Amino acid sequence: MKQTLTIYLNVNEMAHELKQQLLDLLKNDNIHIKKGWENGTHLVLYGFSADELKKVKERLSNILEKYPTKLYDVDNYKKVYSKVNEKFYQNKYDLSNIYQNTIIERNHIPLSNLENINQKKLYLRIDKKLDNLFAEFYFKPKVLLEILELLLDFTLKFDEFWKENYSYSLKLFNPYVSHLSHFTGFVNSLNEMESDIIYNEFEERHDYNGNYIPKRNELFNSFLEIFSMVEEMIINKEINFFSPYKLEVILEGIDNENLALGHAKIYNNPQLINEMNVNTPLIVNKWFLNILYEKLLLMNINVKDKYYLNYSISMTYYGNILRGRLDGVR
């Protein structure tokens, strides 16, 4: 079984020596990284053999001992994350003990929610591709615009590829719709005043207005093999759009009265559900975005900025819809 190291520390206060060690480790194709907050802010490194783990733990422990990160207030940490835990995770995560400047080893890979070995392979393949492209931005401040441009490049190239290689009966299938869905889901969770503030703030920050010209294709090009991988998994019934969850379980957790109109049309349309379930690019885009959102934490991109990314990418395709909403709040 592959081994896991969890490094509890104040991530924003890491010494350069520790950052460099982590980035060097990620050059190994078997090593992966996540950031989390259960039991304290931490980084999870996984994919080590038992021999590798012992050496890496010793090396990182020595650096952390020599350059401990600044301690944060535990009571305030629990207060903040208890609200997050209750609101979004039904108190799933443990906050009883908060660790700082310590490393704990475990013998599991944090992918237990995935349904089969090929879903795990898909996750790890995408995860490593994102590390290869985005690691230069990990642990750095103020990289939002660089990330936005990379994602715009990816989405515009994805849209071209989708139109050239896949034909579906429903027009809503495109790589922008997930961004629109995530952004509108966010603003629909706010009250009217909060929603108006977000719309107006994002409009003031937005620079592209549908006129963005792609600069780099390496992120999308690195994903071409993922399409064939997903196609084979669909044929073998190893994945569908809602994987790794079951649609009926998702529906049980939804309050229909608060369901966004677009989502209601989807969940109440069996034909649409059936087509989504075997839609290769839609599945690729969903897995790409879900893993990307985990990586954004490593780039110090907060929740609001994550939704700003969704908003800006949506504007390149759904600008009229979003501008119409903006006109309505003035």
Q: Is 72 helix (H, G, I), strand (E, B) or coil?
A: coil
Q: Where are the beta strands (DSSP E) in the chain?
A: 3-8, 32-36, 42-48, 102-106
pTM of this prediction exceeds 0.85: yes
- Ranges under pLDDT 50 in the chain: 257-258, 326-330
- From residue 255, alpha-carbon distances to 41, 185, 277 in Å are 31, 13, 22
Distance of CA 258 to the CA centre of its chain: 24
Burial of 326 (0-12, 13-18, 19+ CB in 10 A): middle
Taking only the tens place, the pLDDT of each residue in 263-287 is 556 667 777 888 888 899 999 999 9
- From residue 167, alpha-carbon distances to 60, 118, 233, 234, 287 in Å are 50, 26, 19, 16, 20
Give the pLDDT score at 80.
93
Give the pLDDT score at 266.
67
* Main-chain dihedrals φ then ψ at residue 245, nearest 5 degrees: -110, 165
Give the pLDDT score at 329.
39
Give the pLDDT score at 328.
43
